[in-house]
Chain A
Amino acid sequence: MSTLLKVDSLGIQFGGLKAVQNVNMYMENGELIGLIGPNGAGKTTTFNMLTGVYAPTEGTITFAGKQIQGLDPYKVTRGGISRTFQNIRLFKELSVLDNVKVANHSLANHNILSSIFRLPKHFSGEAKMEEESLAFLKIFGLDVYKDELSKNLPYGMQRRLEIARALAAGPKLLLLDEPAAGMNPQETKELMDLIAFIRKEFDLTILLIEHDMNLVMGICERIYVLDHGQLIAEGTPAEIRSNPKVIEAYLGEEVAD
């Protein structure tokens, strides 16, 4: 195993507010890691820094040997990190198939001229995109909906499409932001099986944000815990479960609620 992702003293300030500070993480190739923490702990902000949406104000992110902090999101994605969004962000007026094709975009190479003049390269390129995208839909059981507008999909299917779309961008590292949010236990179980499947099938490394501790404990090999923008613990599920700081962070939240 080798290190795919290394995060060194990462932090970001909004105005005077330090949203996240001094986060150190690493991920080995093929690991499935959980990132947990109470509401507002900075989990999504960390994701946003890893994917280039926010430029960190301190620290470095090294991915596959290259520093990527502050790169534009599309460059990060092309480099091999892709993500889903906590608050589903599908392309609503595009069909299910087209949603996946958009993510497949950067893997195709027919240029604008070949498309506007309908050169042979355009047809072969589009055919390849169609084939690959359909294959992803099939894995997620979405191929029957391929011509449906994505906004018309049921909620659980929209969450699945988010993952299918992220996968179509061809990542080595997949970041899943609360993929099971709003799902019932049955749907959640199916989703987790699916994640286990694609991880093997595509040789993926996965970082998973989850609010639900029990769920993460079940599938992750290691877990990072964020609270108030700082890492308060890391370790195996068993270690995390018995870590007093983690218990306090979560209990504190319940008391506050």
Chain B
Amino acid sequence: MEWIQQLVNGISLGSIYALIALGYTMVYGIIKLINFAHGDVFMLGAFIGFFAIARWDMHFIPALLMAMILCAVIGVIIERVAYKRLRNATRIAALITAIGVSLLIEYTVIFFRGAAPEAYPTIFENPSFNVFGVQIDTRSIFILTVSIVLMMLLQFIVHRTKIGKAMRAVSHDADAARLMGINVDNTISATFAIGSALAGAAGVIFGIYYTRIDPLMGVLPGLKAFVAAVLGGIGIIPGAMAGGLVLGVVETVVSALGFSLWRDAAAFVILILILILRPAGIFGKNAREKV
């Protein structure tokens, strides 16, 4: 029964990756930028949630919503201040800027509050419960619930609302969308807002699950979430979800087999294999350059 617990742990971790990966994949789909700062928005979300719960005694749900809203605002500010001018710049220039923004957020936080970690408050009385002889972590179930709700909400937004339609149109062909009267700038900002809100939510549930947060916590999950996005086929929303879950389970399996120090390498090995063998990802189509 041990493996069921591991599987549940893997899926929980995977759903955190999936939530972050969604932001990567949406932004990449719409402006072809690897938003390196996305992992840091995730970190900011974790800190906002921490202050809301531990310092201002807020309940979990309002704290989660607050983290999501503030992260959405931060995401839009980053886009407007740093990335907007780079729409016509080279991919490399955009990537370097994103790296710069990422470092700026991390070290500004360290500058103001130091690099020391914080301990997240516990919000569940019973850490685990028993289902047919299997010990299930309460927090795992909780993470899964929150993730599933958010992903359903995202699916609804993307497929059933006007802004979702605009997002799909812009990611397909920004110029054509503009000609059809879609406000491309606002659509891109909305994409950043939604992606950042999801990352903020991921930050809060990460804090609750792992109980330890620090200013550089976003770097590795950020990179791994990017791996998840590539794994599922970058730009494809269900791909990011699937990629996140696969990655979470693989990492948990690697740890469970006794190679916990190699856990972080697993993600990068997957990344390199997928880039070399099937660069468009599991769900993607290969595109060729026009000559």
Contact = CB atoms under 8 A, between A and B. Distances in A.
Contacts of B288: 14
Interface in A58-98: 85
Interface string B271-287: 00000000000000000
B180 interface: no
Contacts, number: 6
A53 interface: yes
B291 interface: yes
Interface residues of A, number: 6
Interface residues of B, number: 2
A158 interface: no
A166 to B, nearest CB: 15
Contacts of A85: 291
A54 B288 CA distance: 10
Interface in A156-200: none
A116 to B, nearest CB: 27
A48 interface: yes
Contacts of A44: 291
A44 B291 CA distance: 8
Interface in B58-86: none
Contacts of B291: 44, 48, 53-54, 85
Interface in B246-284: none
Nearest to B288: A14
A14 B291 CA distance: 14
A85 B289 CA distance: 15
Contacts of A14: 288
A39 B291 CA distance: 15
A14 B288 CA distance: 10
Contacts of A54: 291
Contacts of A53: 291
A54 B290 CA distance: 10
B283 to A, nearest CB: 16
Interface in A35-56: 44, 48, 53-54
Contacts of A48: 291
Interface string B128-171: 00000000000000000000000000000000000000000000
A48 B291 CA distance: 8
A126 to B, nearest CB: 30
B92 to A, nearest CB: 14
Nearest to B285: A15
Nearest to A48: B291
A48 B289 CA distance: 12
Nearest to B289: A53
Interface in A14-30: 14
A252 to B, nearest CB: 25
Interface of B: 288, 291
The 6 residue pairs across chains A and B that have the minimum distance between CB atoms = A53-B291, A48-B291, A44-B291, A14-B288, A85-B291, A54-B291
6 contacts: A14-B288, A44-B291, A48-B291, A53-B291, A54-B291, A85-B291
